[in-house]
Chains A and B, each alone.
Chain A
Amino acid sequence: MVNDAVMTTPRATPAGPQGQSEVHVALDGVAKVFAGRDGGQAVHALGPVSFELRKGEFFSVVGPSGCGKSTLLDVIAGLTEPTEGDIRFEGRPVSGEVPEGVAVVFQEDASFPWLNVFDNAAFGGRQMGIGEAEVCARVDYALGFMGLTDFARAYPAQLSGGMRQRVCIARAMVQRPRLMLLDEPFGALDQQTRLLMGEETLKLWRVTGSTIMLITHSIDEAVLLSDRIGVMSARPGCFLDILETGWHRDRGSETALDPRYGQLQSEIWGRLREESLKALGAAR
């Protein structure tokens, strides 16, 4: 039985209010404007945004729909180029292509229907040029971690939505990324599955030590899971506030009992309520 040591990446000092931690991703004045199609109106989707992701932290971005959260993720991942501003990942500029060491879990199911669960999870690892034996070891661990070992030979079409997302997360795990970007990965799931997946994500974070950025529209999910929460305004999205939760690294669902949990929730909703009304009125 492979132990957790297989999956650990060397950890930097944990993030904390002391601010001694390393900067992992730095955004400076980043904005994104999408050109209008066929002479239509241009869409100012994001920014300007300036902030830093600390190495090893769990950072969530919460905001109303259409505010540009996914655009922010795309820009950090290198999937889109910003119209203005500067992004640096581990000190090097990000532009045009996805840097090595970054894994993304998308909102939609990205599992490949033509591969079984094992091969799906192994996909990223195999692309990285690690030896097959190493890939298999990592996949076995990741599938075990996500509770998918029994389904290794099954195909995504035979699994439920939640299980398919777990396959995508397993795929990201196998890559052992230093930065993991999660774009509303639990959006299509029911509440109870979401809570369970939240717990698994925390476990994943503790074991791998990766920096995690989670995009979510669920305030309680953000508050429950994160070290810091970025509260985003309606489009064009900018950070209204970045809040520290101060939770202990070994947090779990009992965090909800902490009085600060309720306070943070109301504080965030207080900021977001008006933004959400704006978003509701705006055309999609």
Chain B
Amino acid sequence: MKSTTGTTLNMQTILQSRKDAAVQRRLDVAMLILGMLALWVALSAWLGVHALPYPWTTFQRLAQLLGDPDFYRHVEETGKAFAAALLLAVVGGTAVGILLGVRRLAGDVMEPVLIAVYSVPKISLYPIILLIFGLGISAKIAFGVIHGIIPIVLFTMTAVRNIRPVFLRCIRVHRLGAWPAAWQVLIPAAIPEVVAGLRIGFALTLLGTLLGEMFASQRGLGHLLMMAIERHDVSLIMALAVMLFAFATFASVLMLKWDRHLRKGWQREA
């Protein structure tokens, strides 16, 4: 698409190739979903229904769940905890990340500490959380936050540090004040990496909330999962897993779209 002289390039070709790419992507997604379902069926056949139920059994079970009013109470419980944890993780994580990115020394000091904390099997530290927060929703929220906030901090910090130096010089050449500089240059420049961190943060916050519920809760999706595990109810496990996976994918796709919108023509459509 790039031409050496620049004169044979025109807006027509740019717009057309973008449309083609979009159609191509939709086809690919459809094929992927079909491929995954086919793989699922093959695995179920090979491993046996007690190990992996067929897709239709799973969807049936899922339909059952969605028709059960009790189920929605569990969803609400998890939803509340997750929403709170996500808000804290995103706001707190971005703020701390920007701070650590701008203050170089603080960033250098904290980065290995954060990575080390991230590497610890956090579930095995859950008892401490329980002892601090008690057996309630705040323990779940805290656990969710711990899981999600660290990648957000790390990604935001890296994003701020990786802003191209030439943009920093532009800020000085155009004599921008601190706030216009942040709003018009720093934030737009850092957005792609920040969004990447938010995507992981989203998934991990959800994971943390669910894990908290699995270990010490009487309500919520995590609790349902734990009961399903204890009863070896594989179709319930798969139904819930598929639902969670679909939810997380949906959110991920939304965030990717939002990211693309923020960046508009920034990246070349391959």
Q: Do chains A and B touch in the complex (CB under 8 A)?
A: yes
Residues of A within 8 A of B (CB): 77-79, 97-98, 100, 102-104, 106, 108-110, 112-114, 116, 123-124, 127, 150-151, 153-160, 162-163, 190
Decide yes or no: A153 and B169 within 8 Å by CB, A114-B189, A127-B174, A159-B6 being known contacts.
Answer: no
Chain B residue at minimum C-beta to C-beta distance from A190: B4
Known: A112-B170, A157-B265. 12 other contacts (CB 8 A): A78-B172, A79-B169, A98-B172, A98-B175, A103-B173, A104-B173, A110-B169, A127-B174, A127-B176, A157-B268, A160-B9, A190-B4
Decide yes or no: A114 and B188 within 8 Å by CB, A150-B10, A153-B11, A160-B4 being known contacts.
Answer: yes
Q: Tally inter-chain residue pairs, CB-CB below 8 A.
A: 79
26 A–B pairs (Cβ distance < 8 Å), ordered by A: A77-B173, A79-B169, A79-B172, A102-B173, A104-B169, A106-B170, A110-B167, A110-B169, A112-B188, A112-B189, A114-B189, A116-B265, A123-B174, A123-B184, A127-B174, A127-B176, A150-B10, A150-B11, A155-B266, A157-B265, A157-B266, A158-B9, A158-B14, A160-B2, A163-B6, A190-B4
Contact partners of B176 in chain A: CB under 8 A: 127
Residues of B within 8 A of A (CB): 1-4, 6, 9-11, 14, 164, 166-167, 169-170, 172-176, 180, 184-185, 188-189, 191, 262-268
On whether the beta carbons of B266 and A113 are closer than 8 Å, the reply is yes
Contact partners of A190 in chain B: CB under 8 A: 4
Which residue in A79, A114, A150, A163 is a CB contact (below 8 Å) of B264?
A114
On whether the beta carbons of B185 and A112 are closer than 8 Å, the reply is yes
Chain B residue at minimum C-beta to C-beta distance from A181: B173
Decide yes or no: A114 and B266 within 8 Å by CB, A108-B166, A153-B11, A160-B3 being known contacts.
Answer: yes
Most A CB atoms within 10 A — which of B1, B4, B164, B170? Answer: B170
Contact partners of B267 in chain A: CB under 8 A: 157
On whether the beta carbons of B266 and A110 are closer than 8 Å, the reply is no
Which residue in B4, B166, B184, B265 is a CB contact (below 8 Å) of A106?
B166
On whether the beta carbons of B175 and A127 are closer than 8 Å, the reply is yes
Contact partners of B188 in chain A: CB under 8 A: 112, 114
On whether the beta carbons of B180 and A127 are closer than 8 Å, the reply is yes
On whether the beta carbons of A124 and B11 are closer than 8 Å, the reply is no
Complex Cα spacing A79 to B175, Å: 11
Decide yes or no: A98 and B266 within 8 Å by CB, A112-B185, A114-B188, A160-B3 being known contacts.
Answer: no
Contact partners of B189 in chain A: CB under 8 A: 112, 114
Decide yes or no: A110 and B172 within 8 Å by CB, A151-B11, A157-B265 being known contacts.
Answer: no
Contact partners of B173 in chain A: CB under 8 A: 77, 79, 98, 102-104
Complex Cα spacing A127 to B174, Å: 7
On whether the beta carbons of A124 and B266 are closer than 8 Å, the reply is no
Q: How far is the CB of A150 from chain B (nearest CB, A)?
A: 7
On whether the beta carbons of B11 and A154 are closer than 8 Å, the reply is yes
Chain B residue at minimum C-beta to C-beta distance from A125: B174
Q: How far is the CB of B60 from chain A (nearest CB, A)?
A: 47
Which residue in A112, A114, A123 is a CB contact (below 8 Å) of B262?
A114
On whether the beta carbons of B6 and A160 are closer than 8 Å, the reply is yes
